[in-house]
Structures are given as structure tokens and as C-alpha cells.
């Protein structure tokens, strides 16, 4: 790779630059929002509205709304039920490689970390996928570390083609691509793209991404839009909670998705809420803590602001939180999760990205959902 | 200042007057009492000769909004709009394409096509439409300067029967939304403005009133009231109470 870009707001030469004003809109609005300026009466006004504006969303994310978590739960449950009924989708991630070329100071896959690196062969991918398919899952999320040289687009395309034999619904969570590359992976069988901005605050982004392709903030920011331009059906948004100021980062992720939905009304939108968990190298970063109550408030605010969006609950959270949030705001839950490479085979080949908090199997999650009065759904999409 | 911006034009008044149902001699009174700055003109009906020429009844300072009523497809709408421009009615036009003579409902599909053709010709295009979000987006892409969804069947005075759908347009469309057709009372005009419409057009409601001038004045006040309420932002409505929260307690207390 060439020299590292000096500012995180630059692109590397091979990166596609699209015509979009969404990033400047998000930066402009998130730069002016003051979460401490709201009062309880602002929260009450917002909760009595049928449709929320982006500014209303900031009110629900504010400290003033912490007192309104109960009414927010009631509203969120109603919205979730209105749009999704009692269905909750199940899926699992599959890590096919953990090589990474970036030095994100908060991440266990940081290329400077001394961890066991691996990249599954196509045969190993097939074995892993067969094992997952036997659990009954129909949706899979294929992940790699962010290293184009180690895990090229063609390799990921091959993994998708294998996944197509076993699964009906294929998502990817890989390094950002140009739109023609997304188009290629779509033609291989992938329909959903997750890219997390980690933090939307450029100063912090700059500090925690000192090196590698990931250092380019705008290229990462516009990944969802390029994915949609490439024909993908749905895109997922989120920030790594605890890295930057979590209210501002959450607002930015929500507003980003809001503007994408406005520009691409056919796109399926979803959110994830990863909190920083213990990982190799954590002591070297200075991340803040986001408590469960705050995480809950964020998820409720998103549900009320964008009631039609999917919300995925990560295994980074413990079973108690996951069991409760599925009836309230979350519409998708991972099950039978391993975040190591080859973790669905008997011998894991590469180390894990982070520690999971909910190791329950697909069967266990399935029964938990039933006992909560919810309907496990294994596929809600048909590719035509 | 809170201006209504339609393409390159801007206005203080948010009350657009339909003119097709008045005697021409009433126009000036209605315009004055209603604080009207924009009045529509049905090109097909406009006398252009010496006698009863509508242009002679329109006071100075009033912007004419010719419409393409009578058009049954996009091509006819374009021809009528061009005719209006040649007659000196300016380049702002309300596109009206009606292919149903029973209910007089607008044909969104042909209207989108007409909007695109006229916008390319440099017109400021205000399409009259059935309030459909997908069609509205197409009109935005076609170059419209505002959209004019109907509130109820034209001439019915039934009010905001399409309220939910107009609300969706207000939420989703960045252009001005002008509620056109069906508004029968000042309270309905006010309601449209409260929910975030940018202007209201009325004709029958005023033309069929007992005292036309007084009703024009009532509409003016109602539209202003609704606009002010919308800009002020509504206070809270207390309807969140009354649900037992006990099932939540275990969850909330267990959080770390």
C-alpha cells in the first residue's frame, strides 16, 4: 500500500468518490447539537408526536430523556409490534479471516496485535457453513478482517457463492468497497452490507485510525451509499459505543441512515449497537463506558425515530439484556455465535475479535424467543 | 421572514385562490379580503378578447397561476402551458391532467411526464396530484417546484380526507406542499397548515359561501393561524399515561 494519508478526511487514490452531500449534512448537524439543552417538556412533546424529525431524535437521545425510559419502552414496543409483529429474525456471523491491515487502537484484530491470524480455505468455509446450516439457520453474515491484500474481493465472492448453497439470506461485513465491487458481490449472492463508522467524530476517528485504508473517513462513510448504488438491498449502520461521545455518535448514525433512506427509499435500513467489550489491547485505548441503561435508551430512541428499521442485538450483550430487548426494540438476534475464525468447526484456527457475552445455541435462543411470546423467524427475504 | 418559495418566486401569502368558480367582477374583492397573491387561471376558459378578459380583472401585483385543466395527457398539458406563457401569464404553471371525467381525479402518471417536459422548458411547475408518495418523489425528480396534493375530491368541500397521506408527503418531500382541492372550511385549511402544508388553495369553499368576501377573509386568518401554530411547535399531549409499567420493572432494575 502507498503512503498513509495525512488527514483522515482524504481518500486513497484507488477509492471511488461519489456525488453525495449526506456526509456534510451529518457533520453539520451533529456539530451543532447540544444534548444538554433539552428539558423534560421537550421529551414529552416529542413522545406525543406521530412522526419524529431528526431534531426530535436528538431529544430522545439526550440526558433529559433518561427519566422517560419507561414511556419510551411502551412507545417502542408499540412501534416494534406495528412494524414487525412478534417476529424476531435469527442469524449468525461467520468469520472467514482475521487478517487486518489497519491499526484501529480499540480493536482485537489490530494488525500490530500479536494474535493468531488465519484465513479459511474455500473447503474450510464450506465445512463451517455446513455446520451452521445444520443448526437450522437460513441467514448468515460473512465477516473478514479489513485486509484487501489477504482477503480479496474475489475470495469473498467465492465465500458468498458457497454460502448461497446453504443460506437464503447473505450479508457481508467486510472492508468498504467501490460500487462496482459491491455490484460484483451482489451478483455472487450477497444482499446486505454492514459497515460501521466506529465514530462519526472526525477528530477521534483520526486518532484511533492512524494507519491503513480504514483511515479514510469519507470513504468509509459513503460505503452504504456505494453498496446501494451497486445493487445491494439493505445496509446497516452503527458506531462503536464508547469510542467517541456516544450520544453524538448515535445521532450521527441515525441521521446518516435517515438521509440514506430519504435518498434511496427502497433500501432496507438496520442498526447495530456494539459497545466496546474487553479485547486484546483494550488498556491502550481510552474509551468511555456506556452502561446498559444508556444502551437501552439509545435503542429505544432509534426504534421511535425510525420505527421501520431493523435493530440487531449483538452477543456482546449478556443474555438478560438480550432476552428483554427483543420484545421491545430489537428485531434480529444472533445465535450460536463464534467470533473466531473457523469457530464453527472443531478446531478454531484464528483468534477472536472480542469476547462474547451470550454463547447460547440456536436452539436455546429459539426456545427463549418462544418463551417470551415471540416468533423465531429464520428467513424473511426471498431473492428473485 | 416566512416566505413561500416556489421555484424562483417567493410570496408572503399562503392562500392561493382558485378562480374558476367566481364571477370575474368578484375577483378583486376576494383577492383583497383574502390577502391573496396568487390566483389560478384556467387557460381553456380564459377569454382573451376584449370582453370579459380575465386579465382585466386581476389587480396589479397578483401572480397568475395558469393551470392546464382540460389536458388529458402530458402532451396536451405542455401545449396549454406554452399557450399560457404566450398569453403573458408567466412561466409558473399548475399542471393538471385529468383523465377521469366522473371524479376528476388527477392522473399522476401523465402529470409526472408533463412535469418533466415543462421543467425542461424552463417552467416553474406545480403539479396537482393524488397524494401518493411514490408519485411525489417522481415529480421531485422530474423537476417540480412544489406538489399540490388533493385533500378531497375537487369541489366537494369535504376537507382533509387524505390527511394521513398528505402528512406523509409533508414528512418526506422537501418541496413545498400545497393542499389543493376539497378544502371546504377555514378550520380545514388551518388543519392542513398545522400539519405542515406550505400553502392552501381554495375556490369552491369561497365561491359557494354566503358572503364571499367575508369567507375569503376567514380563510386568510385560518391559514395564518395554522402556519403560526406549525412554526411555533406543538406542546405535549398527555396520552402516555395509564399503562401498567410493572412488567418492565424487573428489566429496568436488573440493568447494569
Mean pLDDT of A241-252: 94
**pLDDT at B64 > cutoff 60:** yes
Query: What tens digit of pLDDT does each residue of A159-185 get?
Result: 999 999 999 999 999 999 999 999 999
Query: What tens digit of pLDDT does each residue of A185-224 get?
Result: 999 999 999 999 999 999 999 999 998 899 999 999 999 9
Query: Is B94 assigned a catalytic role?
Result: yes
The minimal CB distance from A69 to the residues B234, B252, B256 is found for B252
Strand partners for B3: none
Q: Using CB atoms within 10 A of its CB, is residue A298 exposed (0-12), middle (13-18) or buried (19+)? A: buried
Question: In Å, how far are A303, B239, B244 from B236, measured between CA atoms?
Answer: 20, 9, 21
Q: Which of residues 149-178 of B touch A (CB under 8 A)?
A: 167, 171-172
Note the pLDDT of residue A284. 45
Mean pLDDT of A233-251: 94
Beta strand pairing call for B4-6 and B9-11: antiparallel
Interface with chain A: mutation pick from B251, B252, B253, highest number of A CBs within 10 Å = B251
Contacts 24+ apart (CB under 8 A), B32-36: B32/B59, B32/B213, B33/B213, B33/B214, B33/B216, B33/B217, B33/B220, B34/B206, B34/B216, B34/B217, B34/B219, B34/B220, B35/B220, B36/B62, B36/B216, B36/B220
Query: What tens digit of pLDDT does each residue of B154-213 get?
Result: 877 888 999 999 999 999 999 999 999 889 899 999 999 999 999 999 888 888 888 888
Query: What tens digit of pLDDT does each residue of A18-69 get?
Result: 999 999 999 999 999 999 999 999 999 999 988 899 999 999 999 999 999 9
CB A177 within 8 A of CB A185: yes
Q: Which of residues 332-371 of A touch B (CB under 8 A)?
A: none
Average pLDDT, chain A: 91
- Taking alpha carbons only, the member of A142, A219, A234, A145 closest to residue A178 is A219
Note the pLDDT of residue A60. 98
Q: Give the confidence band of B50 by pLDDT, cuts at 50, 70, 90.
A: low
Rounded percentage of chain A residues whose pLDDT exceeds 90 = 73
End-to-end CA distance of chain A: 39
Mean pLDDT of A86-109: 88
A52 CB near a chain B CB, below 8 Å? Answer: no
User: How many angstroms separate the CA of residue A140 from the nearest CA in chain B?
Assistant: 30
The answer for residues whose C-beta is within 8 angstroms of residue A333's C-beta and 6 or more apart is A88, A89, A90, A91, A312, A313, A322, A326, A365, A369
What DSSP designation does B120 have?
A: H
Considering only CB atoms, which chain A residues are within 8 Å of B137?
265
Query: What tens digit of pLDDT does each residue of B212-248 get?
Result: 889 999 999 999 999 999 999 877 665 555 555 556 7
Check CB contact under 8 Å for A48 and B167. Answer: no
Amino acid at each position: 500500500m502507498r503512503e498513509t494519508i495525512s488527514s483522515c478526511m482524504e481518500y486513497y487514490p484507488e477509492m471511488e468518490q461519489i456525488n453525495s452531500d449526506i456526509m456534510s449534512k451529518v457533520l453539520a448537524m451533529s456539530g451543532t447539537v447540544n444534548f444538554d439543552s433539552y428539558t423534560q417538556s421537550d421529551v414529552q412533546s416529542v413522545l406525543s408526536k406521530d412522526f419524529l424529525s431528526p431534531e426530535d431524535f436528538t431529544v430522545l437521545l439526550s440526558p433529559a430523556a433518561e427519566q422517560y425510559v419507561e414511556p419510551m419502552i411502551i412507545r417502542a414496543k408499540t412501534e416494534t409490534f406495528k412494524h414487525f409483529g412478534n417476529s424476531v429474525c435469527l442469524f449468525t456471523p461467520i468469520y472467514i479471516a482475521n487478517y487486518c491491515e489497519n491499526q484501529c487502537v480499540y480493536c482485537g484484530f489490530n494488525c500490530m496485535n500479536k494474535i493468531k491470524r488465519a484465513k479459511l480455505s474455500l473447503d474450510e468455509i464450506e465445512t463451517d457453513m455446513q455446520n451452521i446450516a445444520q443448526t437450522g439457520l437460513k441467514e448468515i453474515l460473512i465477516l473478514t478482517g479489513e485486509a484487501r491484500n489477504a482477503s480479496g474481493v474475489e475470495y469473498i465472492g467465492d465465500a458468498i457463492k458457497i454460502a448461497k448453497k446453504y443460506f437464503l439470506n447473505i450479508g457481508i461485513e467486510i472492508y468498504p468497497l467501490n460500487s462496482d465491487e459491491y455490484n460484483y458481490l451482489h451478483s455472487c449472492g450477497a444482499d446486505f452490507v454492514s459497515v460501521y463508522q466506529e465514530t462519526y467524530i472526525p477528530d477521534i476517528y483520526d486518532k484511533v485510525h492512524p494507519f491503513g485504508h480504514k483511515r479514510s473517513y469519507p470513504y468509509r462513510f459513503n460505503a452504504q451509499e456505494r453498496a446501494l448504488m451497486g445493487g445491494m438491498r439493505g445496509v446497516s449502520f452503527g458506531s462503536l459505543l464508547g469510542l467517541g461521545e456516544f450520544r453524538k455518535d448515535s445521532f450521527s448514525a441515525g441521521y446518516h441512515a435517515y438521509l440514506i433512506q430519504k435518498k434511496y427509499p427502497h433500501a432496507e435500513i438496520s442498526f447495530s449497537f456494539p459497545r466496546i467489550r474487553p479485547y486484546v489491547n483494550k488498556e491502550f485505548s481510552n474509551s468511555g463506558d456506556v452502561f446498559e441503561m444508556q444502551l437501552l435508551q439509545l435503542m429505544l430512541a432509534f426504534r421511535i425515530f425510525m420505527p421501520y428499521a431493523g435493530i440487531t442485538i449483538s452477543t456482546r450483550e449478556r443474555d438478560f439484556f438480550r432476552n428483554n430487548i427483543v420484545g421491545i426494540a430489537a428485531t434480529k438476534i444472533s445465535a450460536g455465535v463464534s467470533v473466531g475464525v473457523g469457530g464453527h468447526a472443531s478446531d478454531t484456527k484464528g483468534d477472536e475479535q472480542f469476547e462474547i457475552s451470550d454463547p447460547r445455541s440456536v436452539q436455546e435462543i429459539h426456545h427463549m424467543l418462544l418463551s417470551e411470546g415471540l416468533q423465531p423467524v429464520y428467513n424473511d427475504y426471498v431473492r428473485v | 421572514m416566512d416566505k413561500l418559495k416556489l421555484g424562483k418566486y417567493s410570496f408572503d401569502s399562503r392562500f392561493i385562490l382558485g378562480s374558476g368558480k367566481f364571477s370575474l367582477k368578484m375577483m378583486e374583492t376576494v383577492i383583497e379580503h383574502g390577502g391573496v397573491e396568487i390566483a389560478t387561471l384556467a387557460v381553456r376558459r380564459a377569454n382573451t378578447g376584449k370582453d370579459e378578459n380575465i386579465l382585466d380583472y386581476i389587480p396589479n401585483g397578483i401572480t397568475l397561476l395558469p393551470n392546464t385543466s382540460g389536458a388529458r395527457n402530458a402532451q396536451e398539458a405542455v401545449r396549454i402551458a406554452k399557450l399560457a406563457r404566450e398569453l403573458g401569464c408567466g412561466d409558473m404553471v399548475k399542471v393538471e391532467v385529468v383523465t377521469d371525467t366522473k371524479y376528476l381525479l388527477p392522473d399522476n402518471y401523465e402529470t409526472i411526464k408533463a412535469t418533466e417536459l415543462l421543467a425542461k422548458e424552463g417552467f416553474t411547475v406545480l403539479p396537482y396530484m393524488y397524494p401518493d408518495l411514490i408519485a411525489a418523489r417522481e415529480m421531485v425528480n422530474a423537476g417540480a417546484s412544489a406538489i399540490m396534493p388533493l385533500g378531497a375530491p375537487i369541489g366537494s368541500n369535504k376537507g382533509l380526507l387524505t390527511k394521513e397521506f398528505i402528512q406523509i408527503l409533508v414528512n418526506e418531500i422537501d418541496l413545498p406542499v400545497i393542499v389543493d382541492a376539497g378544502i371546504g372550511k377555514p378550520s380545514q385549511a388551518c388543519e392542513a397548515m398545522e400539519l405542515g402544508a406550505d400553502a392552501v388553495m381554495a375556490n369552491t369553499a369561497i365561491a359557494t359561501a354566503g358572503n364571499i368576501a367575508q369567507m375569503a377573509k376567514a380563510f386568510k386568518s385560518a391559514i395564518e393561524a395554522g402556519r403560526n401554530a406549525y412554526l411555533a411547535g406543538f406542546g405535549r399531549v398527555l396520552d402516555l399515561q395509564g399503562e401498567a409499567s410493572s412488567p418492565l420493572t424487573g428489566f429496568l432494575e436488573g440493568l447494569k
